[in-house]
Structure 1
Amino acid sequence: MGRGAAFDGIVAGDCDMNGEQMSVEASRTSGAVTNDETGRRRLGDSRHWYLVPLLVYAVSRLVDALIITVASRRQVALTSTRSDYHVFDPTPAAPGYGGVVANWDGQWYWRIATRGYEVPASGSAEEGEALWAWAFPPVYPLLVRGVMTVTRLPFNWAASLVSVVAGAVAMMLMYRLVRRYGGPFLALVTVTLSCFFISAPLLQIAYSESLALAVLFAALNLLADRRYGWATSMVVLLAYTRLVTLPLAFVVLAHAVARWRAEGPFWRQDRRSAAVLCAMGVASVAGAALWMLTASLFIGLKAGTGRTVDQRELFQGWFRDVYDVFGAPGLLMLIAFVVLFGLNLVTRRGRIWGPELRAWSLAYLVYLFWFTPLLPAVFRYLLLVPTLVVILLGTPVKATRGTVGLLAVAVVALVIAQFWYAGNILVVFTEEARPGP
Structure 2
Amino acid sequence: MAVEPLRRSVPRHWEMLPAAVRIGILYLAARLATTAFLIGAAELSGPESRWGTQAGIGEFVLAWDAQWYWFVAVNGYPATLPLTDAGQVAENQWAFMPIYAYLSQLVGLPFDSWGIGAFIVTLVAGYFACLVFYRLLRVRQHRSTATWATLFLAAGPLAVLFQVGYAESLFLLWLFLALDGVVRRRYGRLYLLIVLMGYTRPGVLAFALFLGLYGIWRWFRRRQESLPVREIVHIVTLGALATLVGFSWQFFAAIITGDPGAYLATELSWRRNWIADASGGFIPFDGFVQGAEFWFTAWGPGAVVGYVALGLAVLAVAALLLFEPHVRRLGVELRLWAASYLVYLLAVFFPQSSLFRLLVPVSPLWGALAMPRSWVWRLGVLAACLIGQWWWIYNMYGLANAYWQIP
Change (3 A) 1:134 1:146: same
Change (3 A) 1:303 1:337: closer
Moved more, 291-300 or 216-225: 291-300
* 2:303 corresponds to: 327
The question of whether the paired residues in 1 share the 8 Å contact of 2:330 and 2:367 is answered with: no
**Equivalent position to 2:371, from 365, 384, 397:** 397
Offset of 1:388 from its aligned partner?
A: 4.4
The question of whether the paired residues in 2 share the 8 Å contact of 1:319 and 1:369 is answered with: no
Aligned 1:239-250 pairs, distance under 5 A: 239-250=198-209
Please, what TM-score do these two structures have when normalized by structure 1? 0.75
CA–CA distance in structure 1, aligned partners of residues 59 and 176 of structure 2:
30
The question of whether the paired residues in 2 share the 8 Å contact of 1:203 and 1:210 is answered with: yes
The question of whether the paired residues in 1 share the 8 Å contact of 2:285 and 2:346 is answered with: no
C-alpha RMSD over aligned residues: 3.3
The question of whether the paired residues in 2 share the 8 Å contact of 1:112 and 1:133 is answered with: yes
**Equivalent position to 1:168, from 110, 127, 131:** 127
Tell me the SS of whatever aligns to 1:181. Answer: coil
Report Cα offsets for 1:397-433 as digits up to 9, x if no partner: 353xxx2211211222221222221121134554x76
CA–CA distance in structure 2, aligned partners of residues 122 and 385 of structure 1:
34
Offset of 1:144 from its aligned partner?
A: 0.2
CA–CA distance in structure 1, aligned partners of residues 234 and 362 of structure 2:
26
The question of whether the paired residues in 2 share the 8 Å contact of 1:252 and 1:281 is answered with: yes
Tell me the SS of whatever aligns to 1:385. Answer: helix
Aligned 1:282-293 pairs, distance under 5 A: 282-293=240-251
Which residue type is aligned with residue 371 of structure 2? V
**Equivalent position to 2:285, from 304, 315, 325:** 315
Report Cα offsets for 1:68-96 as digits up to 9, x if no partner: 12212344689xxxxxx9xxxxx874231
The question of whether the paired residues in 2 share the 8 Å contact of 1:118 and 1:130 is answered with: no
The question of whether the paired residues in 1 share the 8 Å contact of 2:321 and 2:327 is answered with: yes
Give the fraction of aligned pairs with identical amino acids, expressed as a percent: 25
Offset of 1:157 from its aligned partner?
A: 2.0
Offset of 1:315 from its aligned partner?
A: 2.8
CA–CA distance in structure 2, aligned partners of residues 47 and 130 of structure 1:
52
Offset of 1:177 from its aligned partner?
A: 1.1
Which residue type is aligned with residue 386 of structure 1? S
Aligned 1:10-89 pairs, distance under 5 A: 48-75=18-45
**Equivalent position to 2:164, from 177, 184, 205:** 205
Report Cα offsets for 1:118-153 as digits up to 9, x if no partner: 43598999x99998112210000011011012x325
Report Cα offsets for 1:314-334 as digits up to 9, x if no partner: 332334322452434443333
Report Cα offsets for 1:224-263 as digits up to 9, x if no partner: 2223232132112111111101222332134334444554
The question of whether the paired residues in 1 share the 8 Å contact of 2:46 and 2:399 is answered with: yes
CA–CA distance in structure 2, aligned partners of residues 252 and 131 of structure 1:
32
**Equivalent position to 2:378, from 383, 390, 407:** 407
CA–CA distance in structure 2, aligned partners of residues 131 and 293 of structure 1:
18
Tell me the SS of whatever aligns to 1:50. Answer: helix
The reply to whether residue 226 of structure 1 matches residue 219 of structure 2 is no
Change (3 A) 1:74 1:111: farther
CA–CA distance in structure 2, aligned partners of residues 50 and 132 of structure 1:
39
Offset of 1:266 from its aligned partner?
A: 8.5
Offset of 1:184 from its aligned partner?
A: 1.8
* 2:238 corresponds to: 280
**Equivalent position to 1:135, from 86, 95, 98:** 95
CA–CA distance in structure 2, aligned partners of residues 70 and 220 of structure 1:
36
CA–CA distance in structure 2, aligned partners of residues 249 and 336 of structure 1:
26
* 2:57 corresponds to: 97
* 1:341 corresponds to: 317
CA–CA distance in structure 2, aligned partners of residues 303 and 262 of structure 1:
42
Change (3 A) 1:299 1:435: farther
Change (3 A) 1:183 1:121: closer
CA–CA distance in structure 2, aligned partners of residues 229 and 76 of structure 1:
52
The question of whether the paired residues in 2 share the 8 Å contact of 1:163 and 1:208 is answered with: yes
Tell me the SS of whatever aligns to 1:190. Answer: helix
Change (3 A) 1:292 1:144: same
Tell me the SS of whatever aligns to 1:205. Answer: coil
Report Cα offsets for 1:140-187 as digits up to 9, x if no partner: 0011011012x3252222211110111111111111111112222322
Which residue type is aligned with residue 55 of structure 1? I
* 2:345 corresponds to: 368
CA–CA distance in structure 2, aligned partners of residues 233 and 383 of structure 1:
22
CA–CA distance in structure 1, aligned partners of residues 56 and 82 of structure 2:
39
Moved more, 323-332 or 52-61: 323-332
Tell me the SS of whatever aligns to 1:338. Answer: helix
Offset of 1:108 from its aligned partner?
A: 1.2
The question of whether the paired residues in 1 share the 8 Å contact of 2:89 and 2:266 is answered with: no
Unaligned runs of 5+ in 2: 1-14, 272-280, 297-301
Which residue type is aligned with residue 317 of structure 2? F
**Equivalent position to 1:382, from 332, 354, 359:** 359
Tell me the SS of whatever aligns to 1:228. Answer: coil
Tell me the SS of whatever aligns to 1:213. Answer: helix
CA–CA distance in structure 2, aligned partners of residues 242 and 122 of structure 1:
22
Offset of 1:343 from its aligned partner?
A: 2.7
Moved more, 104-113 or 114-123: 114-123
* 1:8 corresponds to: none
Change (3 A) 1:279 1:47: farther
Unaligned runs of 5+ in 1: 1-44, 79-84, 86-90
